[in-house]
Chains A and B, each alone.
Chain A
Amino acid sequence: MESSSAIEVKALSKVYKVKTSSSFWKPTYKLIEAVSDISFTHNAEKNLGVFGKNGAGKTTLIKMLTGILHPSAGSIRVLDSIPQKLVTDFKMNIGLFQGGRGQLIWDIPAIDSIELSRHIYGYSKEEFVRRLGIFSEALNITNEIHQPLRNMSLGQRTKMELLYSFIHLPRIVFLDEPTSGLDVISRDSLRKFINFCHEEFGICFIICSHNVKDILDCCDTCLVMHKGKILYQGDTAYLLEKHSHEKVVLHTDSHMTAQKIASDYNGRVAGNMVVLDFDGDASSPTICDIVGKHAIVDFKVEKKDNEDIIVEILSHE
């Protein structure tokens, strides 16, 4: 029976045995639970982003979803296969890109190693040329593709590796830190490329990144992980809305006024200024109230940046 979700995870855990002393005769070990009893499903129509601090279990989860790491407990189904069996049909339909980990041959022109993809996945030379044209144009690497990898910048190499990871047009691509080490411009062009491939070829991306913007720009749905557990799974927009707040900066006529407002409305004082935080859009009635009662010289309403919201969610955990 075909399952409706592309990814189904039930009660999944992964425990690592880590050496804690290097004693030759009596080494000691401790068990670290990287992923702890998590369950979720995901439909391949949307990209999925995985947020989390270092050690949250994001990469371990990705590795188990691809089948290269065996879980300690629980079950996984990806595209109706058990990933750990690594059957050919499953391999034909997935791609993996790990930032900073190269697959292409260093000393020969990138195009030569990328062409191996058509031999591995069995598609024609014409189709390879067509896909290469589309991908290299979208990534703006049409000329660089003929150079050996060793002559390229980190950004160009990353683009080549990314292209190689899914020029075979798999159904799901796992991206682990895709923009690691790249400058702002390269990061932006990679995000655009990911969105282009999602829309044009229907590839579902599962993105795990410390760069919050990667996920905000590319993923409609997300998982928030903390210490191996899932704190949130659902729409990225809803998560942002739920945690969005406004910051109001009021300039008062004196320090005393600022202190009075701060104590009445639980704000922070800085000279003649007072800063108030509000959840959602609740600031308007309060500002009207304050302006009516106190001498306010000027005020400014600032909406919290989406990246800051995610950083705040993660740092509160």
Chain B
Amino acid sequence: MNNYYYGLARQTLKEGMAYRTNFILSFLVVLIPLLGQLLLVRFVYQNGSSLGSWELSSLLAYFLLARVTSEAFSITTWWDIKNDIKNGGLNNHLLKPYRYFWHNFTVYYTLKSISISVAIIITYATYVVVRGSFLVPIDFISLIQFLVLSVVAAILSFLLIFWLSILAFFFLEIRFVENLLSILLPFMTGSILPLDIFPGVCRTILLSLPPAYLVYYPARILTRSMPWPDFLILLSQAVLWVLVVWIALTTTWRKGIMKYEATG
């Protein structure tokens, strides 16, 4: 069966690269917001202001790295699952001897690998251009911590996406929730601003919710490594969220599949 996921990944990659214009334009999708963020931060710091305790170079490094983690782990609308449930496409998946969750995980991260690669290329190119003014202080420990946390973030991110998508078993129309999340999530993940610059309770809440483990913490760790005990606490909190979302997801799936009307 592992061969199936490998084969599926290969086909998905072919499909993802089928439209060259789309692929080329995806570079701009990464580049434009990144340039906007960098220019804004420079402008703020040139005028003597600052954001929290962040130094200019660390903040620029954070935005560069957050661009990659955001591309990799942010919660996006995954139409495939919702359409499968609403239009009956799930019928054929249910009858195939593979796991629907892992099928989608493979397709999702195969397509993501293209956009992640683009994000890495653009981020690195930008870094090469602007590195005269700052350096990303990556050390070996922070790299290890980042890689470990990234694995958990990848799983947590897809669990959240899958869980939100299978709510379509119960609610045929959840566009309002999606629109709301598309506005809130960039803030909640730390893609727009580092979460620790928010004040008081707001910061505490944001730092303890699952979206923080997707973009903020991985990018933060790369700019400033953590002591191992602190990192292990952070990692166990992320794993705890994985378990919580997994339980919510399996319960939703079990109840949802009983309600599934197999339209069509």
Contacts and interface: CB of A to CB of B under 8 A. Distances in A.
Given A16-B261, A68-B260, A86 B95 contact: yes
A69 B14 contact: no
Contacts of A101: 88-89, 91-92, 264
Given A16-B261, A69-B262, A101-B264, A116 B11 contact: yes
B8 interface: yes
B96 interface: yes
A92 B260 contact: no
A67 B94 contact: yes
Contacts of B90: 68
B53 interface: no
Contacts of B91: 63, 66, 68, 96, 98, 101
B97 A121 contact: yes
A53 interface: no
B3 A91 contact: no
Interface string B88-117: 111110111110000000000000000000
Secondary structure type dominating chain A contacts: mixed
B95 A94 contact: yes
A91 B260 contact: no
B4 interface: yes
A88 to B, nearest CB: 5
A88 B99 CA distance: 10
A10 interface: no
B4 A116 contact: yes
Interface string B250-264: 000000011011101
B89 A88 contact: no
A92 B15 CA distance: 27
B92 A91 contact: no
Interface in B1-38: 1, 3-4, 6-8, 11-12, 14-15, 18-19
Interface in A86-120: 86, 88, 91-92, 94-96, 98, 100-101, 103, 105-108, 112-113, 115-116, 119-120
A120 B14 contact: no
Given A103-B92, A107-B19, A68 B262 contact: yes
A72 to B, nearest CB: 11
A209 to B, nearest CB: 15
A91 B19 contact: no
Contact of A120 (B4, B94, B257, B264): B4
Nearest to A70: B258
A91 B18 contact: no
B15 A105 contact: yes
B11 A91 contact: no
Contacts of A95: 95
Interface residues of B, number: 28
B8 A116 contact: yes
A122 interface: yes
Interface in A14-63: 16, 63
Contacts of B95: 66-68, 86, 91, 94-96
Contacts of A112: 11, 14
A108 B15 contact: yes
B11 A105 contact: yes
A307 to B, nearest CB: 26
Given A68-B262, A91-B96, A107 B89 contact: no
Contacts of B98: 120
Given A16-B261, A69-B261, A108 B18 contact: yes
A103 B98 CA distance: 15
Contacts of A106: 15
Contacts of B94: 67-68, 86
B19 A120 contact: no
Nearest to A164: B92
A68 B19 CA distance: 34
Contacts of A148: 18
Given A16-B261, A63-B91, A92 B3 contact: no
B76 to A, nearest CB: 20
Contacts of B18: 107-108, 148
B1 A108 contact: no
B262 A115 contact: no
A240 B90 CA distance: 37
Contact of A108 (B6, B11, B97, B262): B11
Interface of A: 16, 63, 66-70, 86, 88, 91-92, 94-96, 98, 100-101, 103, 105-108, 112-113, 115-116, 119-122, 148
6 contacts: A63-B91, A101-B264, A107-B14, A116-B4, A119-B3, A119-B7
Interface of B: 1, 3-4, 6-8, 11-12, 14-15, 18-19, 88-92, 94-98, 257-258, 260-262, 264
Given A86-B95, A107-B15, 12 more contacts: A68-B95, A68-B262, A70-B260, A88-B97, A96-B91, A98-B264, A108-B14, A108-B18, A120-B1, A120-B4, A120-B98, A122-B3
Q: Please name the 8 residue pairs, one residue from A and one from B, whose CB atoms are nearest each other, closest first.
A: A119-B4, A107-B18, A119-B7, A91-B97, A119-B3, A68-B262, A88-B97, A63-B262
